[in-house]
Amino acid sequence: MFRGLEHTAIASPDPKRLAEWYVKHLDFRINHTYDGNYFVRAADGSMLEIIPSVGERAPQQMKDPGIRHLAVTVDSFDAAVAELRKRQVSFLGEPFVNQGNHLVFFSDGDGNILHLIQRERPLP
């Protein structure tokens, strides 16, 4: 009956600009728009919906209540980190290894937290 998450929505003061950030920095593509909302799709088919926000946002801390981060899987961690550096992404720390998994946290164009991950072994 329940098949999974079709998309995750992010509210942004400028949805078009943020959608274009995902296109420019993570090679997503804008695959649908309506009424100022933008759907961006990753190569694996996962999607984000970027919608207009209302009001001001408090600075996001790593363990604030709510969604902590979006994890982006990569085939080659070192190559992906190098490419993000070339694309002038704002990293929140240095890459590290945790339980055999390679990770690095960074922010998108609105300050939402993401991280690259290359797992030693896929999750069960």
In terms of residue numbers, what domain contains 6? 1-54
Residues 10 and 31 in one domain: yes
Q: Which pairs with CB-CB distance under 8 Å and at least 24 residues apart come from 87-94?
A: 87/24, 87/25, 89/25, 92/62
**Pairwise CA distance, residues 17 & 60, whole Å:** 19
pTM of the model: 0.91
pLDDT at 120: 93
**Pairwise CA distance, residues 41 & 38, whole Å:** 10
Measured from the Cβ of residue 18, the count of other Cβ atoms closer than 10 Å reads: 23
Compute the mean pLDDT over every residue in the chain, rounded to the nearest whole number: 94
pLDDT at 63: 83
- Residue 121: pLDDT band by 50, 70, 90 thresholds? very high
Residues 49 and 70 in one domain: no
What is the mean predicted confidence (pLDDT) over 15-38?
Answer: 97
pLDDT at 40: 98
Give per-residue pLDDT as tens, 39-93.
999 999 999 999 999 988 877 777 878 788 999 999 999 999 999 999 999 999 9
Tally the domains of the chain.
2
Judged by DSSP in three states, 100 sits in coil
Residues 44 and 1 in one domain: yes
pLDDT at 67: 83
pLDDT at 34: 97
Residues 48 and 87 in one domain: no
* Backbone Cα Rg of the chain: 15
